[in-house]
Structure 1
Amino acid sequence: MIVAISVDQFSADLFSEYRQHFTGGLRRLSEGVVFPSGYQSHAATETCPGHSTILTGSRPYRTGIVANDWIDQSVARADKTIYCAEDETVPGSTSRSYTVSAKHLLVPTLGERMKNADPATRVVSVAGKDRAAVMMGGHKVDQLWFWNGKDYVTIAGQPAPDAAIAPFRSALAARLAQPQPALPVPGVCASRDRPIPIGDGKTVGTWRFGRPAGDTTKFRASPEIDDANLTLAESLIDSMQLGRGPATDIISIGESATDYVGHAFGTEGVEMCIQLLALDKRLGQFFDRLDKAGIDYVVVLTADHGGHDLPERNRIHAAPDAQRVDNRLDVKAVGAQIGRELKLDGPVLIPAGGDVYVDRAVPQKMRAKVARRAADLIRQSPLVENVFVGADIAKLPQPTSPPETWSFTERARASYLPGRSGDLIVALKERVTPIADPTRGYVATHGSFWNYDRRVPILFWWKGVQNFEQPLGVETVDILPTLASLIGLPVPAGEIDGRCLDLDASAGDNCAVAAPEAAR
């Protein structure tokens, strides 16, 4: 059985910082084959693009998942924003009230390839976010479940729920109906237990994850949801007898709490310390249960992207240049200025995160001029590192050098898809957080071109693995061909961007010799 785990926002920096303190599942994985400098190599370091690379072997330009949300001015509905895991053709839907779908994922996942090669393969996906479950599971899933904010649900058209689902949901409802006491602070976390002022009298840095009865928002941003994901995964493995049939099965697990904790509290406080140690312990219990069941399995663990701490704490911690965006970067004002210059009506520019779209009301013959004028004006902001014109990026070949050497242009190219990506791609300067006001929601985020958002660990483990570590850069797109080599599944090189990683510590090479028994 293949077990593919994505820990949302688990950066290479966090792995390095806490590695010495792991005693459970993450410690076990650290004794396998370790790539501490894996890369979500592209510029669009968001949840949906990152998850789309892990089990497809393809970068976002090929998966079609160029962002969490993009703009499609051709859709009939008033809301022109498209959510990466929605079906916008469903009547009455919006990008915030949608039907979950894999329609925008343009390539097959490893599970799909396995099922195409052997229909006896079972493909299961469980996650704390719909986009994680969909992008790792793909289009042919036997069971797919995700947390929708209130309960674990599946998508339309999937097979009937497994027998384990009803008792799991019942037990979870009973758990949510009870309050969650504040968690103790482990000794190694004590030095991080300090309030950090973020404005308006609010602070982060001292939360213990106590939860009132019925509070699903606090449940989501706590170790509780990671525990629930793994409990559901265990239930499905047992009830479906995964890993004990005639074919290799695959289960993907999207652990989302680290991301929600990073957004709500930052990456360097007591909250993240409690979260990661809890995750390490729970993963250890999960692997122990698989061992007790006698299942032969291979694990890969990585992340969809990294993350960056809040600037208020960064400035205290020897990074005085850390800052938030402000009115020195106002894309709509730039659009208004261009409209006055060129006598154009309408907004002219439509911002969507780091992507900026030229309004299709602008005459076709003027759009290229508008894009280049906008790039020149936006570059003048002291918060901006560079601006790339989409038409220029689209002409470039995909990078082939090691990911740690890529230029910003190459990073942009890896996640640029004409017709879906913006007409401009804006790269903020290093240590600039694109959240102006931390008192009204998230305090920290990710999504930049910079390596703190690109670098993630990639860890492989199976029973009897010979430990070694390779500190040089590899990519998350290398995971699919590597796992495929372990089960003897051929994958045409021209269909993916990744390469097979040799996990054999000896002179042998799993990439040259199929070893299907390694993952049965």
Structure 2
Amino acid sequence: MNKTLSTLALVLACTFGQKDTVMAQAQTLSAVAHPKLVVGIVVDQMRWDYLYRYADRYGTGGFKRLLGEGFTCENAFITHLPSYTAVGHSTIFTGSVPAVHGITGNGWTDQALGREFYCTEDSTVTPVGTTSDAGKMSPRSLMASTITDELRLATNFRSKVVGVSLKDRASILPAGHVANGAFWLDDSNASFVTSSYYMNELPEWVKQFNAKNEPAALMSKPWETLYPINTYVQSTADDVSWENTYKGETAPKFPHDLPAIYKLSKGSLRATPGGNTLTLDFAKAAVNGYNMGSGPVTDFLTINCASTDYVGHQFGPNSIEVEDTYLRLDKDLATFFSFLDQKVGKGNYLVFLTADHGASHSVGFLQEHNVPSGLVNEKPIISGLTADLKGVFGVDSLIRGTNNYHVDFDMKKIKAAKLDYDAVKRETVYYLQTVPGIQFAADLENIGNSALPEPIRQMAINGYYPKRDGAVIMIPDLGWYEAGNMKGTTHGTWSPYDTHIPMVFMGWHVKHGYTNEKTSMTDIAATVAAMLKIQMPSGCVGRAVMEVYK
């Protein structure tokens, strides 16, 4: 009997012991079931090679920390055309392509109305924090849900979602349709503003941040290089012919007299490293203001560091200004990550860093070094094409112009003249293929008859939304892009310099490592959705990169 009781006691002890162990494991799993905060950082116009080009000058807490602790997808590409800002941000956060999410450019021509539209314009809302039209913005033109939307839906709107950028489109589109707030900089009052789509009054913390007038402080001293200028060996000499000047400058060289420049143009802050500092400082204020990362569910902060784009456009990728901007951004990121470590806790937040697009080398730089390049000028193309179509069909002004490398046709004139629309498009393609700097032209409505090779064909299809794009697309020659002169640079093409982007994850449940397998910008939202165990956005076509998480 005693032996039986002893055996029973042992069995019960083991059973309850196992139960306690299981419960403890369940509690442990529950405690780490989700990150407290997700931070999506998009560095505007950041080519993939910038992760490594300046690596010997980066500190340990910024880009090197991302690579040293995180997981990097070394061959991440954009899979749509054109490679522009609004398109990239929409694609990152929807996991979709322009043909589905509808954001086909920073602006487009409504094909039915023939009117130009800006990607986030909204006449139904009113400005908040300003009296200028800079506040008349919303995400209503975005046709798909975002990963930020899906997080809000999955938590019954308990998650807090906030978007931050100097640019309205780079704050609004990532934050999605149901965000708690999106904030962007209004140059007219040097303050962060929003619209009545989100709220009727700025939160007190935003008012307090704006009252500090940090833009003026950031522009109060000349821009000197962070290190001796002769040590910037990754860049060309200072003051070269293919760089633009700030307003009031006589030459594009250091030191840049920022106080004088700021007096002439408040918007000049954007094209300085201080714009990134301001953005990340405001992001920290947003985390504190909304107490993000402290609740029972995951919060989501989207950040766009836009000054890299403005500086890049003005000076080009080979400039000392761009190198110095990235060295300073590296320090700002290190400070920001340290802030998150203290505020949210290291390992409690998930970060991904990527770019909306890259950038070409300046045409002037390329031509000086005998690399094929040139400019695609819109006006001569339009006038030449208009004359050609009139000569063939006898009707003037059959096209309204070009936008995002697409030709916009005047459908009312084509129908009124009872012209064969397919014949008009064929003639348009024939003409464009004779234009210097245009490598391919194709009718996207008859793509099966085009000579577009892969991956250009699929990228063109992915970027085509008929209600917002003309049916004929132009593909520039390699090294060519649409611009008025050879100073600075731009982006928008299919080439790797415009479409090969960084894609790095760090923090909560991210294992250290890398993959050289080809991945897509559309995979970011899918990966985050898988990690958070929530539904993918409504138009998501990406795949979860399983190698990222453990």
TM value normalised by structure 2: 0.82
Would you say 1:377 and 2:431 are equivalent positions?
yes
Counterpart in 1 of 2:476? 428
Report matched runs for 1:281-320 at 5 Å: 281-295=331-345, 296-316=348-368, 318-320=369-371
Q: Residue by residue, what CA displacement relative to the aligned partner does 1:40-71 show, whole Å, maximum 9, x if unpaired?
A: 21121001100101111111111101111111
**C-alpha contact (below 8 Å) 2:214/2:278 kept by paired residues:** no
Q: CA RMSD in A?
A: 2.8
1:195 is matched with which residue: 234, 239, 242? 239
Partner of 1:400: none
Q: Which residue of 2 aligns with 1:399?
A: none
1:182 is matched with 223
Partner of 1:13: 49
The equivalent of 2:399 in structure 1 is 348
Over residues 358-396 of structure 1, what are the superposed CA-to-partner deviations in whole Å (9 max), with x where a residue is unaligned? 112323343222111011101111311101112124999
Distance in 2 between residues matched to 1:14 and 1:435, nearest whole Å? 24
**Which residue is equivalent to 1:278?**
328
Match of 2:117 in 1: 82
Describe the SS at the equivalent of 1:472.
strand
- 1:300–1:196 Cα change, 3 Å: same
Task: Rate the CA distance shift 1:49–1:190 in 2: closer, same or farther, 3 A.
Answer: same
Identity %: 25
Q: 2:62 touches 2:334 (CA, 8 Å); kept in 1?
A: yes
Partner Cα separation in structure 2 for residue 178 and residue 329 of structure 1: 40
Q: Which residue of 1 aligns with 2:286?
A: 236
What is the rounded CA distance, in whole Å, between the counterparts of 1:230 and 1:186 in structure 2? Answer: 22
- Equivalent residue number for residue 25 of structure 2: none
Contact 2:225 2:254 in 1 (8 A): no
Q: Which runs of 5+ in 2 are unaligned?
A: 1-36, 127-132
How many corresponding residue pairs? 487
Where in structure 2 are the equivalents of 1:104-123 lying within 5 Å?
104-118=141-155, 119-123=157-161
1:53 and 1:176 map into 2 onto residues whose CA distance is 35
After superposition, residues 32-47 of structure 1 pair within 5 angstroms as 32-47=70-85
CA–CA distance in structure 2, aligned partners of residues 323 and 427 of structure 1: 13
- Distance in 1 (CA, whole Å) between partners of 2:120 and 2:471 is 22
**Partner-residue secondary structure (3-state), 2:54:** helix
Give the SS at the match of 2:39: strand
User: Could you tell me how far 1:148 is from its partner in structure 2?
Assistant: 2.7
- Which residue matches 2:193? 153
2:139 to 102, 127, 135: 102
Match of 1:472 among 501, 517, 538: 517
Partners of 2:283 and 2:207 lie apart in 1 by: 13
Alpha-carbon displacement from aligned partner over 1:449-506 (angstroms, at most 9, x marks no partner): 21211110100000674321112221111111111122221338x84110001145xx
**Residue equivalent to 1:363:** 414
Deviation at 1:74, TM superposition (A): 3.4
How far apart in 2 are the matches of 1:191 and 1:474? 28
- Which amino acid counterpart does residue 335 of structure 1 have in structure 2? T
The whole-number CA distance in structure 1 between the counterparts of 2:255 and 2:448 is: 47
Please tell me whether residue 335 in structure 1 is matched to residue 386 in structure 2. yes
Alpha-carbon offset, residue 204 of structure 1: 7.1
Q: Specify which of 3, 15, 28 is matched with residue 65 of structure 2.
A: 28
The 3 A distance-change label for structure 1 pair 414 and 406 is same
Secondary structure of residue in 1 paired with 2:197? coil
Counterpart position of 1:211? 258
CA distance in 1, matches of 2:216, 2:522: 37
Provide structure 1 residue ranges, at least 5 long, that are not aligned to the other structure: 397-404, 511-520
The answer to whether the 8 A contact 1:195-1:203 is kept is no
Q: For 2:185 and 2:500, how far apart are their aligned partners in 1? A: 26
Q: Secondary structure at the match of 1:362?
A: helix
State the partner residue of 2:534.
Answer: 489
Q: Does 1:323 align with 2:374?
A: yes
Q: Which amino acid aligns with 1:451?
A: P
Deviates most, 184-193 or 472-481: 184-193
Pair 1:326–1:235, CA change in 2 (3 A): closer
Q: What is the TM-score normalised by the length of structure 1?
A: 0.87
1:498 aligns with 2:542: yes
TM-fit CA distance, 1:22: 2.0
Q: Is the 8 A contact 1:85 1:101 kept in 2?
A: yes
User: In structure 1, how many angstroms separate the alpha carbons of the residues matched to 2:449 and 2:120?
Assistant: 27
Q: Which amino acid aligns with 1:18?
A: Y
Deviations 1:321-348 (A, max 9, x none): 2222359961232122211321113353
Letter in 1 for 2:544: C
Q: C-alpha distance in 2, partners of 1:379/1:435?
A: 19
Larger Rg: 2
Q: Relative to 1, partners in 2 of residues 1:177 and 1:278: Cα closer, same or farther, differing over 3 Å? A: closer
For 2:331 and 2:219, locate their aligned partners in 1 and report how far apart those are by CA, in whole Å: 23
Aligned to 1:470, what secondary structure does the other structure show? strand
The structure richer in helix per residue is: 2
Question: Is contact 1:194–1:205 with CA below 8 Å preserved after alignment?
Answer: yes
